Homo-oligomer: A and B are copies of this chain.
Amino acid sequence: MFVHSVFFWLHHPESQDDHTALRAGLESLKAVTEISTAYIGTPAETRRPVIDHTYDFALTLVFADKAAHDVYQTHPIHLAFVDKCAHLWERVKIYDAVG
């Protein structure tokens, strides 16, 4: 099992168009068949000092193993997403975990 957690901070979080465009891009990733499960979310209303709720979108992708993840990284659908959407985000933070 390989869990790829990605958090996105938009350049313009006030732009509804940018939210819509990034969400559409994230949804497009679900077509990559190597992904076992995909979760797309936005910050919950939980507030505690240990919680980071400053991001705009969360993407959690579960893969069978690192090999499946590696296929995703260079998959044309993923590369098209980066090409089309990278200008929307100011930064991303990623945590990759194997279990």
Contacts and interface: CB of A to CB of B under 8 A. Distances in A.
B60 A44 contact: no
A7 B37 CA distance: 20
Nearest to A66: B44
A71 interface: no
A92 interface: yes
Given A1-B39, A39-B62, A43-B95, 20 more contacts: A2-B44, A3-B58, A7-B95, A39-B97, A40-B99, A42-B99, A43-B97, A43-B98, A44-B98, A46-B66, A46-B94, A50-B91, A50-B92, A51-B95, A51-B96, A52-B93, A52-B94, A55-B95, A58-B97, A60-B97
Interface of A: 1-3, 5, 7, 37, 39-46, 48, 50-53, 55, 58, 60, 62, 66, 69, 91-99
